[in-house]
Structure 1
Amino acid sequence: MVDDIGQLVRAESPSADLAAVARSAEIVAAVGARRLGVEPEVVVVDGRTHLRWRLGAGPRRVLLLGHHDTVWPLGSLAARPFSVRDGVLRGPGCFDMKTGLVMAFHALGVLSALDRVDGVTLLVTGDEELGSPSSRELIEQEAAGCAAALVLEGAAEGGALKTVRKGVSLYEVRAGGRAAHAGLEPDNGVNASVEAAHQLLAVAALGDDGRGTTVTPTVLRAGATTNTVPADGRFAVDVRVREAAEQARVDAALKALRPVLDGATVQVTGGPNRPPLSREASEELYRTAERLAARLGLAPPAEAAVGGASDGNFTAGAGIRTLDGLGAVGGGAHADHEHVRIAGIPPRTALLAALVEDLLGTDSLGAPGSSAAASSGSAR
């Protein structure tokens, strides 16, 4: 498994580089086909490369969901090469989330050898880190009619499964003004920087700590030269919410913004990107994971609520039972210290296989004396 992870990590795949993502998809497809015994369908949407394995001929019942794109630009591997030392593997994208893909390949490989994958779909997208602009529809189509979606994102701290994820909305607020010479006739201008500052403070005040709603202005730009009253200013806004009602409240408030300065304009673009993943969507699957972990002799998995979003938000928003954080145990997503603890890979892979089989209704993985138990035991 470590060798397979190394192959995926060494295939750099920054989301915005379509050619790099396509090259990465070739490696992911080759590794997956080797473990599953079948080639994936390559799905290209708006130039972005996604992979889909539909296993068996029966109706779709279980969706495994992951992505192979990363936030790391080309050349990151030179400074942060794939490495294995003292039980820890490192490299760009190892935790988020190429280890999770390898875990899915091996879990399904065990079940495939036992002819227990009929109705399983594995979908590996190539634009998750951008907000899944080209893959959202594909994800929701594949989830439709499934009993559950299992998301191979890295675990929360300590290996906890992610049972709650905040919803995400993304906006740009643009302030329009009128240019003028800053020294000769500043009063003839309308300062878009000042208007943007008024709007930024109003937007930041929309957060609600009690409800877990954060509204964070992020990237800010204004003006063109130091001696000109700015005619244009803009800033991005990142919104995270636990509740759909809060997502709607903030959306309405942002779209109701009005200019403060005479002659200024305000335009708001964007909106909700991912709905919240509520505990109601994950609780039943989490309890199943607890039961199966006990059967496999594993420590009971903890659960966590996190602010980050994933493609699991889409499946939960579509009414599909969803359990997230089933991938690697480690940390440092998007950071220099990104890493995976190797000792956590085999037991988590066994748990994933058990979940899939349980959801398919065969429910024999890990049963005393069964061939499936022997297979998952050897995997541990």
Structure 2
Amino acid sequence: MFQDRLEIGLSWLAGQRLAMQRLLERLVRQSSFTQDPSGVNAVVSMIEAELSRIGLKGTRIPSTRFGDHLYFESAAKGEVAFLVGHTDTVFPRRSFEGFVLQGDFAVGPGVFDMKGGLVVAVFALEALARAALLRHIPLRGMFVSDEEVGSPDSQPHMRARAAGAACALCLESGRAGDAIVTERKGVACVEIEARGVGAHAGNEHDKGRNAVWSLARLVDRAQSLTDYARGVTVNVGVFQGGTTKNTVPEQARAEVDLRYRTEEDGEATYRALEAAAQTAAVDGTQIHLVRSAWRPPMTRSEASAALAAEYGRCQEESGLGSGEAPLSGGGSDACTTSALGIPSIDGLGPRGAGFHTIEERVDIASLVPKATALARFLSRRAVADDQVGSEAAGPA
């Protein structure tokens, strides 16, 4: 019965390429840099309106630092599929703007990472609603506003709301050949501050204590902690300090990116960085470290591999490729669900290239088949009427 209904939704979805493109253009033209809460909230409002229109109950979770996080759920009870995504991008206003069509591709900020994935989710869910299936599918999901900086605010909310889910599906940027991501490195951001004593560089050089010197000594030690054989990398990506060339600098700061294949390696690398800071600080200076974000690795398991195979069959039925992608060095919120023991897969968004660059682009032709694959997968989790809550309403 449910599969007969599905064909109604998929027939509708097959003709939605232009509508998907139009929603994507609206989302992309609205800047949503992580550090711009008003811009992010504008995107959240667009998605919230789309979900409400198709009958999904949404809740906005306010943040004091970022835009709102958007949680949603269906009324059906059973083994929950949890959808994962984010509404923020890495592009500040005016750094990269617009939405430009180039053949089958669209170019714009966040078009691939990951507003295209949001569009895939919305249209897959609407197809299920039009087939009168959505109300039968145990579904929860969360689109966060701080993913691009490591999800420091949203992680506790994600953990609380994803707990107990049977699987997690992350709509991040699609991979070549539609390969499914089953493992990612963990990612941490460490903020470092060195404090010294300011002084005139000519008259009282001996009274100064150079914070830049201390931090520079730490940079060399930090970079040497990289161990490619273990899959551990350390990157000092930001270094700032001092005021003028003729002043002994009393302050310097750096931002460090850590990547690791296991939680144990991540913790060991951070402890090594702390130890290096102690030996790097010259007399009269101090170096302080703060973990501003910490994302666990997404670990491949038998359950997640089986989930990838099941989803891959839905992709193949939708005219897409399948298989597992190689280990990804980039993190995502699927790392959070994976750490909860939930079988998690990622990279289910549309195909494209150039994420985090001004060449970021998405393959418009992949939007419909990617949404079709998601709708197929979710439809197979539908439950009988007696497991649907009385609050179910709308076209779902």
> Are the counterparts in 1 of residues 183 and 300 from structure 2 also a CA contact under 8 Å?
yes
The CA distance in 1 between the partners of 2:156 and 2:179, in whole Å, is: 29
Deviation at 1:331, TM superposition (A): 1.2
Secondary structure at 1:304's aligned position in 2?
coil
2:204 is equivalent to residue 199 of structure 1: no
Partner of 1:278: 299
* 1:1-380 to 2 correspondences below 5 Å: 1-34=20-53, 36-38=54-56, 40-46=58-64, 48-59=67-78, 61-76=80-95, 80-112=97-129, 113-116=131-134, 117-256=136-275, 257-260=277-280, 261-270=282-291, 273-280=294-301, 282-296=304-318, 298-359=320-381
Against the structure 1 CA distance between its residues 158 and 186, is the aligned structure 2 distance closer, same or farther, given a 3 Å change threshold? farther
Structure 1 range deviating more: 55-64 or 134-143: 55-64
Partner SS, residue 162 of structure 1: coil
How far did residue 127 of structure 1 move? 1.9
State the 1:302 CA deviation: 4.5
Cα deviation, residue 295, structure 1: 4.2
1:110 counterpart letter in structure 2: A
Q: Distance in 2 between matches of 1:242 and 1:250?
A: 11
In 1, the alpha carbon distance for the partners of 2:100 and 2:198 equals 54
Taking structure 1 as reference, are residues 301 and 114 closer, same or farther at Cα in structure 2, changes over 3 Å only?
A: farther
What is the CA-CA distance between 1:139 and the residue it aligns to? Answer: 1.0
**CA-based RMSD:** 2.1
Residue aligned with 2:174, SS? coil
1:142-181 Cα offsets, whole Å, 9 max, x none, are: 2101001100011134432222211011112222222222
Any gaps of 5 or more consecutive residues in structure 2?
A: 1-19, 385-396
Specify whether residues 299 and 259 from structure 1 end up closer, same or farther in structure 2 by C-alpha distance, changes over 3 A only.
Answer: closer
Contact 2:150 2:293 in 1 (8 A): no
Question: Per-residue CA shift, 1:259-314, capped at 9, x if unaligned?
Answer: 44222222111166100012226322112123333444543345232111111111
TM-score calculated relative to the size of structure 2: 0.84
Residue 297 and residue 156 in structure 1: after superposition, are their counterparts in 2 closer, same or farther (change >3 A)? Answer: closer
Q: Judging by fraction of residues, say which structure has more strand.
A: 1
Shift of 1:43: 2.3
| 1:48, distance to aligned residue in structure 2 (A) | 2.5
Contact 1:150 / 1:324 at 8 angstroms: preserved in 2? Answer: yes
| One-letter amino acid of the counterpart of residue 206, structure 1 | L
Rounded Cα–Cα distance in structure 1 between residues aligned with 2:263 and 2:148: 22
Aligned letter for 1:226? K
Cα distance change of structure 1 residues 28 and 294 upon mapping to structure 2, 3 Å threshold: closer
Contact 1:60 1:121 in 2 (8 A): no
Contact 1:147 1:359 in 2 (8 A): no
Gaps of 5+ in 1: 363-380
Residue identity in the other structure for 1:115 = L
How many pairs does the alignment contain?
359
Q: 1:154·1:325 contact (CA, 8 Å) conserved in 2?
A: yes
Highest RCO, 1 vs 2 (Cα 8 Å, sep ≥ 6): 2
Counterparts of 2:141 and 2:23, CA distance in 1:
17
